[in-house]
Structure 1
Amino acid sequence: MRTIRIIEHISLDGVIQAPGGPDEDIDSGFAHGGWAFPHFDAAVGEAVDAVHGDGFDLLLGRRTYDIFAGHWPHQTGPMADQLNGARKYVATHRPDNLGWGPAEDLGADIVAGVRAIKAGEGPDLVVWSSSTITPVLIEHGLADEVVLLVFPVMLGRGKRIFSDTAAATELRLLSSKAGAAGVIINIYKPAGPARTGSFADVAE
C-alpha cells in the first residue's frame, strides 16, 4: 500500500492558482501569478523536501503536468533530478500526449486508477497543486496527508483548493510550523465527514 501526500501553496483566502510565476496559469484573467515567491524561505524548502522523502512518484492533474513539463526538463539540481526522474500518473483526457516521462494516464475512472496505483508497490505518491484531484482524493478516502503551505497573502479571486461541490470533510492537524517569512506549514490527516453541533447545547 502506497502513501499519498498532497502539497498545496495556498493563500489565506484559499487560492492556489499560479503560485510559482506570472504566466503559470492566467485562466479567467488571473493577474497575481508568482504570489508565493516573495515569501519562500528555508522552512518552506525543508517542508517540500520532507514531503518528497527519499523517493516518490507524482500524481498530477493535466494542467500541473503541463506546467511542470514546460519547466523542469530545462532545470538542473537535486529537485529537477527528482521530478524529472519520478514516474508521473496523470489525470488527462489526452493520454497520447505525455512526453515528459516516464508517465502514464490514470484512465477514464480517476478514482479507480488511483486506487489501483495506491494498492500496489512503490514509493510514496506526491500530489502537487491540483484543484481537481485534491478534493476527489479526500472525498474517497485516498489521501493520507495534506500539507498546506499557507502564505500571508489575500488574493480575492482565483482557483481554490476545494470547489463548491467538494464534500464537507474534517482534517486532523498533525503538526504546524511558522517560517521566518510568515508561511505557516500545516500538515493534516483527513478525518472523515464534517460533524455539526450547536453552541446552544453548551452548558453555561
Structure 2
Amino acid sequence: MRKLKIIEHISLDGVIQHTADEGDFPYSDWIAPYRTPAGLAAVLAAQGESFDLLLGRRTYDIWSDSWANASGSPMADGINAATKYVVTHRPESLEWGPFEGVGSGIVEGISRIKSKDGPDLILWGSSTLTSTLLEHAIADEILLVVYPILLGTGKRFFAEGTPARSLELVSTKAMPSGIVLITYKAAGPLKTG
C-alpha cells in the first residue's frame, strides 16, 4: 500500500490560500519572498523522486494553468510526470495528464488508489479535500511548510469541523529564511486526560 502525504505551505495563522481564485484574497503568492534553493531542495526531498498527486478540482485547474507548460526543473518535471488523481464531478473535462478521476465516492476512491502499487501520493492545496482525508484517517503523513507571517484572512488548512486527531512529530527543519518544515504522522484519535 502506498503512503498518502499532505504537503502544505502555511502561514503561522493557518492560511494556505495563495491566489484570489475566489473572492478578494489580497495576498497572492505570499510565499515568493521566501523561495530559496535550500527550501526547494527540502520540498523536493519530501516529495521523493517519484510520486503521484491527489488534487481537488480547483487545485487541478489552477495547477494545469501554471505547470502544464513548465519544464526543465525537477519540480515541474516531477509534477508533470505524476499521475494526477482528481476529485471532480466532471472527469470528462480533464486535459492535463496523465490523470484519472477519483470517482463519486471520495473516501472509497482514494482508499482504492492507495491500495494500488505505485509511488506515494501527495496532496497539495485542496483545502476541502484535506479535511476529508483527516476525518477518515486516510492521510499517513503531513508536512507543513510554515512561513513566519500572519495573513489574517484566507482559506485555512484546518477547516471548522475538522475532527480531533493526534499527530506524532517525525521531524523539523528550520531554514535560514525563517521557514520551518514540520513533518507529522497520523497517530490515531485524540488522546486526552
Question: For residues 103 and 45 of structure 1, what CA distance do their matches in structure 2 show?
Answer: 25
Structure 2 partner of 1:38: 33
Match of 2:24 among 13, 26, 29: 29
Structure 2 partner of 1:14: 14
Structure 2 partner of 1:123: 119
TM-score normalized by the length of structure 2: 0.95
Residues 49 and 78 in structure 2, CA contact (< 8 A), matched pair in contact too: no
| Identical residues among aligned pairs (%) | 51
String of CA shifts for 1:111-131, please: whole Å, max 9, x gaps: 000000101111111111121
Amino acid at match of 2:9: H
TM-score normalized by the length of structure 1: 0.90
Question: For residues 94 and 131 of structure 1, what CA distance do their matches in structure 2 show?
Answer: 19
Ranges in structure 2 where 5+ consecutive residues have no aligned partner: none
**RMSD between aligned residues:** 1.2
Question: For residues 91 and 128 of structure 2, what CA distance do their matches in structure 1 show?
Answer: 17
Which is worse superposed, 162-171 or 6-15?
162-171
Count of aligned pairs: 192
Shift of 1:51: 2.2
Structure 2 partner of 1:200: none
Residues 4 and 127 in structure 1, CA contact (< 8 A), matched pair in contact too: yes
Please state whether the residue corresponding to 2:6 is helix, strand or coil. Answer: strand
Question: For residues 51 and 21 of structure 2, what CA distance do their matches in structure 1 show?
Answer: 29
String of CA shifts for 1:150-188, please: whole Å, max 9, x gaps: 001100010001111110112111111110110010000
Which is worse superposed, 113-122 or 46-55?
46-55
Residues 142 and 184 in structure 2, CA contact (< 8 A), matched pair in contact too: yes
Shift of 1:196: 2.7
Which is worse superposed, 165-174 or 144-153?
165-174
